Structure 1
Amino acid sequence: LTNIDEFLFSGCSSLKDITIPNNVKNISDYAFQSCENLNTIVIGNNVDTIGNCAFALCKNLKNVKISNSVKSIGTAAFRDCDNLDSITISKNVSNIGEYAFGYYSLYNEENDNFDNIKYNNYKIYGYKNTAAETYAKENGFEFISLGEQILTGDANQDGTVNIKDVTYLQMHIAGNKNTDGSPLIDETNKQLFDSIDMNNDGKLTVNDVTALQTYLAQNN
């Protein structure tokens, strides 16, 4: 199973806490819409896309953890989630659709349509200069910065991602140190660690070196 299909769990009242498994890559449109008893969602480490209205109308949803692998969040993905008063968005998310967070729909009799209304005091947590900050500013939500963005794969933190980062990561894994005896990469820096933990397995290994090489090949 690599895809959770449209409407697959829509309206399922028995779902309360769910973890999307790591083998899933896409959560399709309306997949969990109207699961009114859903309280907590943990998005798996390989999910790339959250579809339109995927979790809309989940009225009791309070906790959402979006993994670093997610790149796109669809239109109204979390609209009408009345108990979700904030969201933390990964730096890797590059696309956020309209009304994805912080909105509910209200029927307008005059035009026989639904208006999108903002929740009061909704908060967006994320990194500076990312889609999260752009979405917050464009929609008038409070943006709470988690720090400056570190580029994915920028192991040596020079602001660019290239073969030098592959070498630097290899040297760190081999145990090389800075002149003061400290590790080349400060693994306690969560943002830095997440940016070079290329396979999202919570540790830095040769597998991340291979994944970084693949990432460079695909993005250059």
Structure 2
Amino acid sequence: MKMDRRGCFGIINIVGVLLFLLASVGWVHAEFSEPFTYVVNTSWIQITDCDQSASGALVVPAELEGKPVTSIDDRAFSYCRYLTSITLPDSIVAIGDFAFASCDALNSIIVGEGNSHYSSIDGVLFNKAEIVLVQCPGGKAGVYTIPGSVNTVAEQAFAYCDHLTGILIHSGIDTIGEYAFRDCQSLEAITVDVGNSKFGGSSGFFMVRAPVSRKRTIC
């Protein structure tokens, strides 16, 4: 079947557009380097997954294939139940949603001081300015006091922290993200400073308690 000149030009134009788009975003392909799966772009690397059997202390490399590791994809480390700590390099500028969800033994997320986007205090992940609590690791136990610099608790920041028994919220907290305390199986109380005008009580501290049969309602 013959193709007229307009058809040929149409195909050439489509191919040209595709080549332009590929050149614009950089060629992307997936690779694996134990225990990481990652995406390679012309100028950056994104960690997309981690072997769920990985255990102990894990260090995310600053570079792979000579390119900087700049981001962690959504759920990249979720259900890595045997990791006890994760160290992130200074090159990380973006962390996806639920990146560390259901990491039951994870006690600390460590960020170097040279990172321009994130920081960590006592193993808990914050933004660089330490005003947003991004993620409490799932292995944290006992009662946790949110630092005084924080004004925002991110969405699902404490979700699935099954070993926490209490959380103390100071007067400066004015934003708590959706499902911030979801499915915290051992959480007995969230204590809010009376000085907190948005979440606080009228005297002393305001205690939010959950009967054993209704723990999920506050988590």
Q: TM-score, normalised by structure 1?
A: 0.39
* Bigger fraction of residues in helix: 1
Which structure has the larger Rg over C-alpha atoms? 2
